Structure 1
């Protein structure tokens, strides 16, 4: 199975097993580097501030399968900026390919991505 398919399956599993309360208005795909490579995680918040990224530290939703280790085939030898670009493309392609009305993403007003110690990039709207 391809790394992209693994990522899509991760989000599909979350969509099948989790529900997000209408109070969750923003979802964030966080990124960090660990000893074994780069990892993505998903959290949600009841608050969102376009001017202040600290909203993402207010975690009101965490799926049981919160973490996804990025395949080395996607990120091996890449600088952090390239890892961020690859990750953003994975999320964007997934969101563009699925019917959002059947997902945890349907009510949120913002979806972002970024490294824990960096700025967030808004993916949606």
Structure 2
């Protein structure tokens, strides 16, 4: 059974308890030989004006990486991947699971490719 991005997000909510000092979470994206992957990090720092905060790795979940190997992520360019991830994360933040998770206590949640701009979801 293939787990979905949403399954992975819910699993993170159920299994992780980052320190309350984590101010922001970033879902980074990168391309591998097998397609795209997403990962989660948390930072104790957040600066709206300086995206370098996402380089501070103060929290890493046990299940940090999720390969985007499902059909909807295959054979599409990075722009479509980013668009889809923004959409899926935006839907996730509207769920009860998000509202009762550690994510909801953060100052910010963002996504973006490692060499690109950050897109703030929350």
Q: What TM-score, normalized by structure 1, do the two folds share? A: 0.90
* Residue 32 of structure 2: aligned partner: 34
Which deviations, in whole Å up to 9, do the C-alpha atoms of 1:31-82 show, x marking residues without a partner? 0000000000000000011111111010111000000111341222211111
Q: Decide whether aligned partners of structure 1 residues 102 and 117 sit closer, same or farther in structure 2, where only a CA change above 3 A counts.
A: same
Where do residues 1-125 of structure 1 align in structure 2 (5 Å cutoff)?
6-124=4-122
Instruction: State the 1:18 CA deviation.
Output: 0.7
Instruction: State the 1:101 CA deviation.
Output: 3.9
SS in 1 for 2:94: helix
Aligned residues: 122
Rounded Cα–Cα distance in structure 1 between residues aligned with 2:70 and 2:14: 26
SS in 2 for 1:96: coil
Any conservation in 1 of the 2:29–2:39 contact (CA below 8 Å)?
yes
Instruction: State the 1:109 CA deviation.
Output: 0.8
- The CA RMSD over aligned residues, in Å, is 1.5
Q: What TM-score, normalized by structure 2, do the two folds share? A: 0.92
Ranges in structure 1 where 5+ consecutive residues have no aligned partner? none
Between 79-88 and 5-14, the greater mean CA deviation after superposition: 5-14
Rounded Cα–Cα distance in structure 2 between residues aligned with 1:44 and 1:122: 14
